[in-house]
Chains A and B, each alone.
Chain A
Amino acid sequence: MTAVSPVRSATVAGPPRVPIRWALLAGAVALGVQGVVLLTTDRPVRDVLLPGHLALVVALGLVFCLGAVTVAGFAAGAAAAGLVVLQPDTLLPLLVGAALLALGCGLAPGWTRVEAWQAAQSHPLSADAEAPVVPVADRSRGQQLRDRWRSDRVFAAFLVLAFHPVLAACSLWFIDWTQRR
């Protein structure tokens, strides 16, 4: 009664090890600094928090995109929602940014590594799903990028990044609408 997964039998590199704890800690420190500045200066809330939030969105979004760390997408989305609350007209640029990051997720090698590692942990799901994670030697760079690309991953990544700011924008709109009625 011995079964060995064909994927496991191949050498599978581990997922990218991004020190996400430190990244989140740095984000928390940045928010803390913004809070202190807000309390100790007379500058408007928006002016103080906006740059910090933007930095968080970019930094965590890049961690999500390049490091394939799901929780970083959560944090980036939350920071983006904060941006929308601070400055509602940032929604459209944020969605464009989310789309660009999602496209990056479609090509970033980190995702392929995570998927290969995950495939080694359990039953593979489908031929299509497994195709990009099977290492193939002697491929051109263009072919490698095509192998890595997954449209469903790109769309899913976009939803994760865009959901929070869209929810925040809809909430603001709804509150405004109910108050104006």
Chain B
Amino acid sequence: MTVFAPRGALPGPALRPDHGKHAAPQRLGAVLVEQGVLTEQQLAEALDQQERVGAPLGSVVLAKGWVTRRELYVGLAAVWGADLAFVDPVDVDEGLARRFPAAMLARETWVPLRVEEDGDGHRQVVVATAGRPSAHIAEVVVQRTGIPRVRQVVTTDWDVQRALRTVWRDELVHDAVSALAERRPDESASTVFVRPQIAALIALLVATVTGLVLDPSLTMLVLVATVNVAVALAVGAKAVISTVGTAWETVEQVTAAEVDALDDAELPVYTILVPVYKEAGIVGLLMRNLADLDWPREKLEILLLLEEDDPETLAAALAAAPPDIVRIVVVPHSLPKTKPRACNVGLAFARGEYVVIYDAEDRPDADQLKKSLIAFRKGGDDLVCVQAALNYFNARENLLTRMFTLEYSSWFDYTLAGLDKLRLPIPLGGTSNHFRTHMLRDLGGWDPYNVTEDADLGIRASARGHRVAVVNSTTYEEANMAVGNWIRQRSRWIKGYMQTVLVHTRHPWRLLRSVGPRQAAGFALLIGGTPLMFLAAPWLYAMLAVELLAPGALTPALPGWLVQVSLANLLLGNGVIIYLSLLAGFKRRTYGLVPFALLSPLYWLLHSIASYKALWQLLVKPFYWEKTNHGLSSHVQAEDTPDMDAGPAPAPGPARTAEDRA
């Protein structure tokens, strides 16, 4: 249904601010008071808040829940002297809609509605905008339609988004899925193996088989020696990188004093993307977790990305009655059904200067957004992403969560810190990666065909000359506590690493030239070496077993020195892994986990199982997203229903700590 107010709307001022940024606040306030939706006292308080946080008055009263979106836009339409329309997607002329790209409309929050005749019989285009009617919109419309008359009406931003999701559905899906593959096919994992890679693999296979037939001993020697060298280099690189990270463990990228010095009025709008799929039970928890964030609510935009074929989660999200800063974006169904595809749709609607991804169960440190902002300001213009550390709130739930926590501590606290210090490419972690929105869009967003789209994006950013850094803030997640679930998750991660290696080694010389030999080596050893280590480990263990049970049984096929080197490699590799896990407990004072580091070799055998599953899936189901079930932890299930509207949750203290709840 479309409803028009009696007055006409014509193109307004040249600039088109968001939410009445330049609308005289007194006037909007006066209108809202006059309309009886705001009291004088509330207005006075809102004006104070507006001055303090530097946000538009509309955002302030909306964030405080004093007015509904509809009431606000009624007021804004009156202030802007424009008609008000509530847009029903069926009223949008699809022929007209196709002339306008969805991405631009999503960014600028307006949609063309139809072509009509005005009172004088002239054709005019009617557009609905969630901002002040502007000359810019009129220019764009004239440019794309050739019709010189444009009538602009005001509608809510939610109406604009609903229309976009409905009318521009196919285009949104296409952009989310295929934009990268079409614009930069060389950077997309949509093709698993390119022809030169297939040729190289076939040549390698043929050479190996031929070698085994003609000279089995020499071929085995070459194969085993190559695997040993690769594993030793990969383990060595990890050890060096992590040791460098250990040496910088007390270095703060951003200090508390710098955070305290930030003025809320200078803060930009921050968008939080939360992709959720079949996690109905966990949606409500998100509200309380994010309620702790130290950021003005008026400058926060939370996009809850739900899938179209997941009505249970949608129902749960609606039932949780999230506040106005949370927008539910239903991602249209399409394949591949992956998290990066949903994130790309979310990115199209993001209006923040910065954007970050969190999972629904994530508990970021309160100051994470502020620290990331400071890291961006200190990091220079080429800094595209800031990665916060991830750790687990249910570390002590069982043996697997303990091992997982040690591994994550080692990776995020030491390995990534080492990569940052050595200026090597940083593979991003699953969540808590903060981006400059415009740079992320320039990069092409996430690759929906890569099942570790985050790691791929970190490498792609480096290859394009951008930088990724880490920041001293932590997001607490739920550690996977079931072995089957863990293997599913890990096989996806390892498959993603394989995809990332295949994508970025399509043009090895180009990679070498663009990032330099040191960075290329770091990428090859860390991203390529990780799956290789896991794949090789069972064979090295098999050699050990044979050598123990039947001494000398391998020597007819392999020289004795090579058997010794292989066993030493296995021993040293496990020693390094155990040692890095031992150190991992120190940064976060989780000394109780340290003895479990001695079990790392067993834990790493699980990685080997996952890696063979990953290899198999790479060949038969390369884009299949192994879903990780969240919300299994008793810590999550025990949570109360959150209430973001109630304001900040109590500051975390000993009474509600992770270990206490264990």
- Which residues of A line the B interface, CB within 8 A? 1-6, 8, 14-15, 20-21, 24, 70-71, 73-74, 77, 114-115, 117-130, 150, 152-153, 155-156, 159-160, 163-164, 167, 171, 174-175, 178, 181
Q: Is the CB of B583 within 8 A of A73?
A: yes
Alpha-carbon separation in the docked complex, A174 to B547 (Å): 12
State whether A5 and B586 are in contact (beta carbons under 8 Å apart), knowing that A74-B579, A125-B658, A159-B594 are contacts in the complex. no
Chain B residues near A122 (CB-CB < 8 A) = 365, 473-474, 588
Q: Is the CB of B365 within 8 A of A123?
A: yes
Looking at B275-283, B291-299, B477-485, the stretch in contact with chain A turns out to be B291-299
Alpha-carbon separation in the docked complex, A176 to B452 (Å): 45
State whether A1 and B293 are in contact (beta carbons under 8 Å apart), knowing that A15-B250, A71-B247 are contacts in the complex. yes
Interface bits B560-603 vs A (CB < 8 Å: 1, else 0) = 00001000100100010011001101111111101101100000
Of listed A114, A122, A128, A163, residue having the most chain B CB within 10 A = A122
Alpha-carbon separation in the docked complex, A14 to B252 (Å): 11
Residue in chain A with minimal CB distance to B647: A1
Q: Say yes or no for B551: interface residue by CB 8 A criterion.
A: yes
Chosen A-B contacts, 11 in total, with CB atoms closer than 8 Å, are A1-B647, A2-B294, A3-B648, A5-B366, A70-B586, A74-B579, A122-B365, A124-B654, A129-B659, A156-B586, A164-B579
Alpha-carbon separation in the docked complex, A51 to B463 (Å): 48
Q: Is the CB of B657 within 8 A of A125?
A: yes
Residue in chain A with minimal CB distance to B414: A70
Of listed B249, B586, B648, residue having the most chain A CB within 10 A = B586
CB proximity of B384 to chain A, nearest CB, Å: 25
> A3 touches which one: B246, B294, B589 (CB < 8 A)?
B294
Chain A residues near B1 (CB-CB < 8 A) = none
7 additional A-B pairs beyond A73-B583, A163-B575, beta carbons within 8 Å, are A5-B366, A20-B247, A70-B586, A71-B243, A114-B250, A160-B579, A175-B564
CB proximity of A78 to chain B, nearest CB, Å: 9
Q: Say yes or no for B228: interface residue by CB 8 A criterion.
A: no
Alpha-carbon separation in the docked complex, A70 to B592 (Å): 16
State whether A3 and B249 are in contact (beta carbons under 8 Å apart), knowing that A152-B591, A155-B591, A159-B595 are contacts in the complex. no
Q: Is the CB of A74 within 8 A of B657?
A: no
Chain B residues near A120 (CB-CB < 8 A) = 256
Alpha-carbon separation in the docked complex, A125 to B405 (Å): 13
Q: Is the CB of B591 within 8 A of A156?
A: yes
Alpha-carbon separation in the docked complex, A152 to B590 (Å): 9
> A5 touches which one: B583, B589, B651 (CB < 8 A)?
B651
> A123 touches which one: B578, B648, B657 (CB < 8 A)?
B657
Chain A residues near B592 (CB-CB < 8 A) = 152
Interface bits B209-244 vs A (CB < 8 Å: 1, else 0) = 000000000000000000000000000000000010
Q: Is the CB of B659 within 8 A of A70?
A: no
Residue in chain B with minimal CB distance to A175: B564
Q: Is the CB of A1 within 8 A of B654?
A: no
Q: Say yes or no for B403: interface residue by CB 8 A criterion.
A: no
CB proximity of A14 to chain B, nearest CB, Å: 8
CB proximity of B501 to chain A, nearest CB, Å: 29
CB proximity of B573 to chain A, nearest CB, Å: 12
Q: Is the CB of B594 within 8 A of A70?
A: no
Q: Is the CB of A126 within 8 A of B294?
A: no
Chain A residues near B263 (CB-CB < 8 A) = none
Alpha-carbon separation in the docked complex, A181 to B247 (Å): 42
Q: Is the CB of B366 within 8 A of A126?
A: no
Q: Say yes or no for B80: interface residue by CB 8 A criterion.
A: no
Q: Is the interface of A mostly helix, strand, loop or mixed?
A: helix
Alpha-carbon separation in the docked complex, A129 to B582 (Å): 18
Alpha-carbon separation in the docked complex, A135 to B589 (Å): 17
CB proximity of A135 to chain B, nearest CB, Å: 15
Alpha-carbon separation in the docked complex, A168 to B578 (Å): 14
Alpha-carbon separation in the docked complex, A127 to B473 (Å): 21
Alpha-carbon separation in the docked complex, A4 to B649 (Å): 10
Alpha-carbon separation in the docked complex, A77 to B582 (Å): 12
Residue in chain A with minimal CB distance to B298: A1
Chain B residues near A127 (CB-CB < 8 A) = 654-655, 657, 660
Q: Is the CB of A160 within 8 A of B651?
A: no
Chain A residues near B152 (CB-CB < 8 A) = none
State whether A163 and B582 are in contact (beta carbons under 8 Å apart), knowing that A71-B243, A122-B473, A123-B365 are contacts in the complex. yes
Q: Is the CB of B473 within 8 A of A155?
A: no
Alpha-carbon separation in the docked complex, A153 to B591 (Å): 5
Q: Is the CB of A119 within 8 A of B589?
A: yes
Of listed A14, A21, A150, A153, residue having the most chain B CB within 10 A = A153
Chain B residues near A129 (CB-CB < 8 A) = 589, 659
Q: Is the CB of A124 within 8 A of B594?
A: no
Alpha-carbon separation in the docked complex, A127 to B594 (Å): 19
Q: Is the CB of B579 within 8 A of A163?
A: yes
State whether A156 and B585 are in contact (beta carbons under 8 Å apart), knowing that A5-B366, A114-B250 are contacts in the complex. yes
Q: Is the CB of A126 within 8 A of B658?
A: yes
Interface bits B252-292 vs A (CB < 8 Å: 1, else 0) = 10001000000000000000000000000000000000011
Chain B residues near A74 (CB-CB < 8 A) = 243, 246, 579, 583
The 4 closest A-B pairs by CB, nearest first: A126-B659, A127-B654, A156-B594, A152-B591
Q: Is the CB of B296 within 8 A of A4?
A: no
Alpha-carbon separation in the docked complex, A174 to B575 (Å): 14
> B589 touches which one: A14, A20, A125 (CB < 8 A)?
A125
> B651 touches which one: A3, A15, A178 (CB < 8 A)?
A3
Alpha-carbon separation in the docked complex, A178 to B657 (Å): 50
Residue in chain B with minimal CB distance to A131: B654
Q: Say yes or no for B119: interface residue by CB 8 A criterion.
A: no
Of listed B365, B589, B652, B654, residue having the most chain A CB within 10 A = B589
Q: Is the CB of B256 within 8 A of A8?
A: yes
Q: Is the CB of B591 within 8 A of A124?
A: no
Q: Is the CB of A5 within 8 A of B652?
A: yes
Q: Is the CB of A150 within 8 A of B591?
A: yes
Alpha-carbon separation in the docked complex, A152 to B291 (Å): 34
Q: Say yes or no for B476: interface residue by CB 8 A criterion.
A: yes
